[in-house]
Amino acid sequence: MQVSETLSEGLKRQLKITIPAAALNEKLAAKMEEVRSQARLPGFRPGKVPLSHVKRMYGRQLMVDIINEELSSSTNEAISARNERPATQPKFELSEEEGAGDKLIEGEIDLDVTVDYEILPEIEVKDHAGIAIERPVVEVSEDLLEKRLNQLTANSRPYEPKSGDAPKAEQGDKVTISFVGKINGEPFDGGSGEGIDLVIGSGQFIPGFEEQLEGVAKGEEKLVEVSFPEEYAVAKLAGQPATFEVTVTEVAAPGEFVLDDAFAQSLGVDTADKLRELVREQMVAQYDEMSRRKAKRRLLDELDKLYDFDLPEALVSQEFDGIWATVRRDEEAAGRPVDEASEEAEKSKADYRRIAERRVRLGLLLAEIGNRSEVDVTEDELREALMDRARQNPGREQQVFEFYRKNPEQIASLRAPIFEEKVVDLLFEAITVSDKAVTPEELEKPDDEDA
């Protein structure tokens, strides 16, 4: 085998590999002997089929198999000898001269192949001790716990019609309303309702609607003016100003509700105290997960500032294609099909390509740090991840197990996030992380989805 480099530009490489016809024919002869020893053909004794007959019947297919094997093995050998790590599967190009394919299969000419690939960059891992981030944390106080318990019991809480000196609606009151919504003076689909119960402050309706019902009384008519959110699910309503002619048929105040053992047992918990503790644990776990996600994002932001190295274009393109496909699918589902030729689409593509570059850069960096630190994902961890995936598909658990059994290469999709989180844990230990107390609202404020 002869190997010569024909391109070395950044991370791009091109090799020309030549395998002599004599070497191919030698492998073909060995393959034909193997076939002859096993062939059972009419008119011939076992193992006595003439090689000429074997070649006539099987020669071309055997040579095609040999060529495919040589393309893979010779390429791997050549790249390994150069101590390079390909970023993606190398691409092969054979001679396009007329008749070259037949001559190659007949063993008349050498196998000349051009191999194009990109290599993974050499990453110099830096000292991360100088990185300092804040981790937002929420302490689950008694007030927060009571608020969550009130939300849990909201549907079970009795409401009593208001009367007397305080008949007007306040925060937390339930109003029963009928309404007709209009845009540009015309009713629109889904904009009307009869006898709808709405707790003021629940966030059940679009922003700005509930606040305008504070102070209304039974029998009152109210004109509510709002605008639909720009990202509203119904595309034709998104961003549109609307008016709602509202008639109030009832105003009710929340009554006392005792969270007792009977209520806890209706939820499958033995006692009210155990229910409180269970809700507290769930809140702690929820806020801890959100806190970690925020801290991880801030860590990745710092790493993104610290590192700048060449990226394999193939990996960036793969990441971008996945992001863009998701964007198009989501927009089409919302009734806003993307015009690929528009200036807005081109700007969006540029933004998403930068996101793709960031993800690839950070992914390669975390992989390098993890490999140098000998981070390992155990079989038990993979097994637990598989069980989690199955639990996410109730009623289809067996199909999930069967999928991974038949597609073992997909186990990498289970391994990757575990590996990444372990590397993030290592980095948290290497940097300075300071906790900062925040409110749940501050913690829940979403970050940009770049990483």
Cα–Cα distance, 395 to 376 (Å, whole number): 32
Contact 21, 108 (CB under 8 A): yes
Stated pTM of the model:
0.77
Quickly count helices (H) and strands (E) in the chain: 12, 11
Q: Where are the domains of the chain?
A: 2-118, 158-256, 263-444
* CB-CB neighbours of 414 under 10 Å: 19
Whether pLDDT at 431 is above 80: yes
Q: In terms of pLDDT, which residue wins out, 236 or 4?
A: 4
- Stretch 117-121: mean pLDDT: 97
| Chain centroid, CA 382 distance in Å | 18
Contact 242, 183 (CB under 8 A): yes
Cα–Cα distance, 116 to 9 (Å, whole number): 12
For residue 151, the model assigns a pLDDT of 82
Cα–Cα distance, 135 to 424 (Å, whole number): 14
Cβ within 8 Å of residue 361, ≥6 positions away: 304, 307, 308, 309, 311
Nearest alpha-carbon partner for 243 in 216, 205, 287, 209:
209
Long-range contacts of the stretch 29-36 (C-beta < 8 A, 24+): 31/62, 31/65, 31/66, 32/58, 32/59, 32/62, 35/62
Cα–Cα distance, 83 to 308 (Å, whole number): 22
Whether pLDDT at 314 is above 70: yes
Amino acid letter, 49: V
Most confident of 32-41, 58-67, 129-138, 332-341: 129-138
Placement of tokens 């959100």 in the chain: 290
Cα–Cα distance, 217 to 249 (Å, whole number): 8
Of the CA atoms within 13 Å of residue 296, those in its CB half-sphere come to 20
Query: pLDDT tens digits for 260-300?
Result: 999 999 999 999 999 999 999 999 999 999 999 999 999 99
Cα–Cα distance, 182 to 204 (Å, whole number): 19
**Residue 436 three-state SS:** strand
- Identify the CATH number of the domain defined by range 2-118: 3.30.70.1050
Nearest alpha-carbon partner for 435 in 330, 318, 328, 298:
298
Q: Which two tokens stand for residue 34?
A: 């193997």
Nearest alpha-carbon partner for 72 in 22, 126, 1, 5:
1
Torsion, Cα 302 308 312 315, to 10 degrees, reads: 10
Q: Which helix (H) or strand (E) holds 224?
A: strand 221-227
- Identify the CATH number of the domain defined by range 263-444: 1.10.3120.10
For residue 256, the model assigns a pLDDT of 82
**Eight-state DSSP code of residue 328:** H
For residue 12, the model assigns a pLDDT of 97
Of the pLDDT bands very low, low, confident and very high (cuts 50, 70, 90), residue 445 is confident
Query: pLDDT tens digits for 163-221?
Result: 877 689 999 899 999 999 999 999 998 899 999 999 998 888 999 999 999 999 999 99
- Residues belonging to the chain: 451
Whether pLDDT at 5 is above 90: yes
Nearest alpha-carbon partner for 217 in 286, 163, 271:
163
Q: Which two tokens stand for residue 35?
A: 């076939």
Of the CA atoms within 13 Å of residue 68, those in its CB half-sphere come to 6
* CB-CB neighbours of 318 under 10 Å: 15
Give the CATH fold of the 158-256 domain.
Answer: Chitinase A; domain 3 (3.10.50)
Q: In terms of pLDDT, which residue wins out, 17 or 166?
A: 17
Cα–Cα distance, 312 to 314 (Å, whole number): 5
- Stretch 222-242: mean pLDDT: 89
Least confident of 15-19, 133-137, 186-190: 186-190
